[in-house]
Amino acid sequence: MSGRRLIDIARVIRSKNAGPLHCTLDILFDDDATFREALASPAMTVEAMARLYGVSATTVEVIPYAAAHAIKVVLDRPVVAGSPGDSDVYGAQQHAPLLGVVL
């Protein structure tokens, strides 16, 4: 564990709509070293992401993409996008919990 904050080593941290049932979190790094540091951290596991977002680990995927130095996290949306109770139809505000992650 490095103790560095994700926000300090990631070039981009964003979220977006991935259809009516999913939201994705994209974390992009400048180089392979920081990508691998983040990927190796216990803070970036399926279980850790599930705890961070208060959802079941069975509804989370963590997908590394080494060629782009990126990690994509896929979450089930709590309600179908655009339906009553959906407070972020574009999924653009869902990355905020990642800003406090310490690796």
Specify if 53 maps to a domain.
yes
Specify if 67 maps to a domain.
yes
Structural domain span for residue 13: 6-77
Judge whether residue 1 has pLDDT over 70. Answer: no
Q: How confident is the model at residue 87 (pLDDT cuts 50, 70, 90)?
A: confident
Other CB atoms within 10 Å distance of the CB of residue 54: 8
Specify if 10 maps to a domain.
yes
CA angle 87, 77, 74 (to 5 degrees): 125
Q: How confident is the model at residue 2 (pLDDT cuts 50, 70, 90)?
A: low
pTM confidence score: 0.92
**Which tens digit of pLDDT belongs to each residue from 13-70?**
999 999 999 999 999 999 999 999 999 999 999 999 999 999 999 999 999 999 999 9
Give the burial string for 70-93 (b: 16+ CB within 10 Å, else e).
bbbbebebeeebeeeeeeeeebee
Specify if 45 maps to a domain.
yes
Task: Please compute Rg for the chain using Cα positions.
Answer: 13
Average pLDDT, the chain: 95
Count how many domains the chain has: 1
Judge whether residue 75 has pLDDT over 60. Answer: yes
- In single-letter form, the type of residue at position 99 comes to L
